[in-house]
Amino acid sequence: MNKHASHLEVSPGVFRERMGLFFEDIEVGETYEHRPGKTFTAEESVASTLRSLDQSPELTEANFHARAIGGAHTINPLHVLAVLTGMMTKTISKIVANLAWKNVKFHAPVRDGDTVYAESTILEKRESKSRPGQGVIRVATTAKTHDGRLVCTFERLILVYGRGQGPYDAAGY
Protein backbone atom coordinates (compact mmCIF):
# COMPACT_ATOMS: atom_id res chain seq x y z
CA MET A 1 0.00 0.00 0.00
CA ASN A 2 1.28 3.45 -0.96
CA LYS A 3 1.85 5.75 2.04
CA HIS A 4 0.47 8.74 0.15
CA ALA A 5 -2.35 7.12 -1.80
CA SER A 6 -4.06 9.62 -4.08
CA HIS A 7 -7.48 7.97 -3.80
CA LEU A 8 -9.62 6.67 -0.97
CA GLU A 9 -11.95 3.72 -1.55
CA VAL A 10 -15.34 4.97 -0.33
CA SER A 11 -17.21 1.80 -1.29
CA PRO A 12 -16.23 -1.33 -3.22
CA GLY A 13 -14.82 -0.21 -6.56
CA VAL A 14 -15.59 3.50 -5.95
CA PHE A 15 -12.67 5.83 -5.32
CA ARG A 16 -12.55 9.47 -4.27
CA GLU A 17 -9.56 11.55 -5.25
CA ARG A 18 -7.93 13.30 -2.34
CA MET A 19 -5.02 15.61 -1.96
CA GLY A 20 -2.79 16.88 0.74
CA LEU A 21 -0.96 15.40 3.66
CA PHE A 22 -1.90 15.43 7.29
CA PHE A 23 0.73 16.33 9.89
CA GLU A 24 1.36 12.63 10.66
CA ASP A 25 2.14 11.91 6.98
CA ILE A 26 5.00 14.40 6.80
CA GLU A 27 8.57 13.45 7.69
CA VAL A 28 11.66 15.65 8.01
CA GLY A 29 13.97 15.24 5.04
CA GLU A 30 11.29 14.31 2.51
CA THR A 31 11.19 16.32 -0.72
CA TYR A 32 8.01 16.82 -2.71
CA GLU A 33 7.97 17.86 -6.36
CA HIS A 34 4.94 20.05 -7.02
CA ARG A 35 3.30 19.25 -10.33
CA PRO A 36 2.02 20.34 -12.72
CA GLY A 37 4.40 23.21 -13.40
CA LYS A 38 3.08 26.66 -14.29
CA THR A 39 3.63 28.52 -17.55
CA PHE A 40 3.48 32.26 -16.89
CA THR A 41 2.08 34.85 -19.30
CA ALA A 42 2.56 38.59 -19.47
CA GLU A 43 -1.22 39.10 -19.49
CA GLU A 44 -1.83 37.28 -16.21
CA SER A 45 1.10 39.07 -14.59
CA VAL A 46 -0.17 42.50 -15.63
CA ALA A 47 -3.68 41.65 -14.37
CA SER A 48 -2.33 40.42 -11.03
CA THR A 49 -0.10 43.48 -10.69
CA LEU A 50 -2.94 45.89 -11.39
CA ARG A 51 -5.29 44.05 -8.98
CA SER A 52 -2.74 44.74 -6.25
CA LEU A 53 -2.81 48.44 -7.23
CA ASP A 54 0.87 48.30 -8.22
CA GLN A 55 1.53 50.77 -11.04
CA SER A 56 5.21 49.87 -11.68
CA PRO A 57 5.68 50.49 -15.40
CA GLU A 58 8.28 47.73 -15.75
CA LEU A 59 5.54 45.26 -14.73
CA THR A 60 2.47 46.84 -16.34
CA GLU A 61 3.49 48.80 -19.42
CA ALA A 62 4.72 46.96 -22.54
CA ASN A 63 6.22 50.11 -24.11
CA PHE A 64 8.25 50.96 -20.98
CA HIS A 65 9.40 47.35 -20.65
CA ALA A 66 10.51 47.20 -24.29
CA ARG A 67 12.50 50.46 -24.07
CA ALA A 68 13.98 50.16 -20.57
CA ILE A 69 14.42 46.41 -20.04
CA GLY A 70 13.97 44.58 -23.33
CA GLY A 71 13.30 40.94 -23.97
CA ALA A 72 10.25 38.97 -22.92
CA HIS A 73 7.97 40.66 -20.39
CA THR A 74 9.07 40.25 -16.76
CA ILE A 75 6.56 38.49 -14.52
CA ASN A 76 5.78 40.23 -11.23
CA PRO A 77 7.88 38.43 -8.58
CA LEU A 78 5.05 38.63 -6.02
CA HIS A 79 2.76 36.90 -8.50
CA VAL A 80 5.42 34.20 -8.89
CA LEU A 81 5.57 33.78 -5.09
CA ALA A 82 1.76 33.51 -4.88
CA VAL A 83 1.66 30.90 -7.65
CA LEU A 84 4.47 28.88 -6.03
CA THR A 85 2.55 28.91 -2.75
CA GLY A 86 -0.52 27.69 -4.61
CA MET A 87 1.49 24.93 -6.31
CA MET A 88 2.36 23.59 -2.85
CA THR A 89 -1.31 23.26 -1.95
CA LYS A 90 -1.87 19.98 -3.76
CA THR A 91 0.75 18.37 -1.51
CA ILE A 92 0.34 20.34 1.70
CA SER A 93 -3.35 21.25 1.66
CA LYS A 94 -4.48 20.35 5.16
CA ILE A 95 -3.41 23.82 6.25
CA VAL A 96 -4.81 25.60 9.30
CA ALA A 97 -2.72 28.72 8.72
CA ASN A 98 0.27 30.04 6.86
CA LEU A 99 2.50 31.33 9.65
CA ALA A 100 5.35 32.92 7.70
CA TRP A 101 7.42 33.14 4.58
CA LYS A 102 11.10 33.57 5.40
CA ASN A 103 14.26 34.17 3.40
CA VAL A 104 12.38 34.82 0.16
CA LYS A 105 14.90 35.34 -2.65
CA PHE A 106 14.27 36.00 -6.32
CA HIS A 107 17.42 34.79 -8.07
CA ALA A 108 16.44 35.54 -11.67
CA PRO A 109 13.37 36.99 -13.34
CA VAL A 110 10.59 34.81 -14.64
CA ARG A 111 9.69 35.89 -18.17
CA ASP A 112 6.61 35.58 -20.34
CA GLY A 113 6.43 31.97 -21.54
CA ASP A 114 8.63 30.48 -18.82
CA THR A 115 7.34 27.30 -17.19
CA VAL A 116 8.30 27.04 -13.52
CA TYR A 117 8.54 23.87 -11.44
CA ALA A 118 8.87 23.79 -7.66
CA GLU A 119 9.89 21.36 -4.97
CA SER A 120 9.75 21.57 -1.20
CA THR A 121 11.86 19.81 1.41
CA ILE A 122 10.60 19.33 4.96
CA LEU A 123 13.17 20.92 7.31
CA GLU A 124 11.41 20.69 10.67
CA LYS A 125 8.26 19.29 12.19
CA ARG A 126 6.79 19.69 15.68
CA GLU A 127 3.45 19.28 17.36
CA SER A 128 1.71 22.51 18.29
CA LYS A 129 1.95 23.32 21.99
CA SER A 130 -1.20 25.44 21.97
CA ARG A 131 -3.36 23.65 19.39
CA PRO A 132 -3.85 19.92 20.05
CA GLY A 133 -4.20 17.84 16.89
CA GLN A 134 -2.18 20.28 14.84
CA GLY A 135 1.51 20.68 14.04
CA VAL A 136 3.98 23.16 12.61
CA ILE A 137 6.20 22.30 9.67
CA ARG A 138 9.02 24.31 8.12
CA VAL A 139 9.69 23.74 4.44
CA ALA A 140 12.30 25.01 2.01
CA THR A 141 10.98 25.57 -1.50
CA THR A 142 13.04 25.91 -4.66
CA ALA A 143 11.67 26.99 -8.03
CA LYS A 144 13.39 26.59 -11.40
CA THR A 145 12.35 27.28 -14.95
CA HIS A 146 11.92 24.57 -17.58
CA ASP A 147 15.51 25.19 -18.68
CA GLY A 148 16.92 24.87 -15.15
CA ARG A 149 17.34 28.53 -14.15
CA LEU A 150 16.92 29.05 -10.40
CA VAL A 151 14.28 31.77 -10.00
CA CYS A 152 13.08 31.67 -6.39
CA THR A 153 13.77 30.11 -3.00
CA PHE A 154 12.01 30.56 0.31
CA GLU A 155 11.15 28.93 3.59
CA ARG A 156 7.62 28.68 4.85
CA LEU A 157 6.18 27.91 8.29
CA ILE A 158 2.80 26.20 8.09
CA LEU A 159 0.32 25.06 10.75
CA VAL A 160 -1.14 21.75 9.53
CA TYR A 161 -4.10 19.67 10.73
CA GLY A 162 -3.49 16.24 12.17
CA ARG A 163 -5.41 13.22 10.91
CA GLY A 164 -9.08 13.38 11.86
CA GLN A 165 -8.88 17.11 12.60
CA GLY A 166 -10.35 20.04 10.75
CA PRO A 167 -13.27 20.12 8.31
CA TYR A 168 -12.20 17.25 6.03
CA ASP A 169 -14.09 14.27 7.49
CA ALA A 170 -17.33 16.25 7.83
CA ALA A 171 -17.02 17.41 4.21
CA GLY A 172 -16.38 13.88 2.94
CA TYR A 173 -12.70 14.47 2.16
Using DSSP, state whether 48 is helix, strand or coil: helix
Per-residue pLDDT, 5: 57
Cα–Cα dist 96/107, whole Å: 30
Give 2-45 pLDDT, tens digit per residue.
Answer: 444 567 777 888 877 777 888 998 999 999 999 999 999 999 99
Q: What is the pLDDT of residue 129?
A: 93
Nearest residue to 45 via CA among 74, 65, 15: 74
Secondary structure of 52-113 as H, E, C letters: CCCCCHHHHCHHHHHHHCCCCCECCHHHHHHHHHHHHCCCCCCEEEEEEEEEEEECCCCECC
List pLDDT tens digits, range 125-172.
999 999 999 999 999 999 999 999 999 999 999 999 998 888 877 777
Contacts of 92 (CB under 8 A, 6+ apart): 20, 21, 26, 32, 120, 137, 139, 158, 160
Which residues lie across from 87 on neighbouring strands? none
Ordered structural domains, the chain, with CATH: 10-41+75-163 (3.10.129.10)
Residue 52 has pLDDT above 90, yes or no: no
With 0-12 / 13-18 / 19 or more C-beta atoms within 10 angstroms meaning exposed / middle / buried, residue 100 is exposed
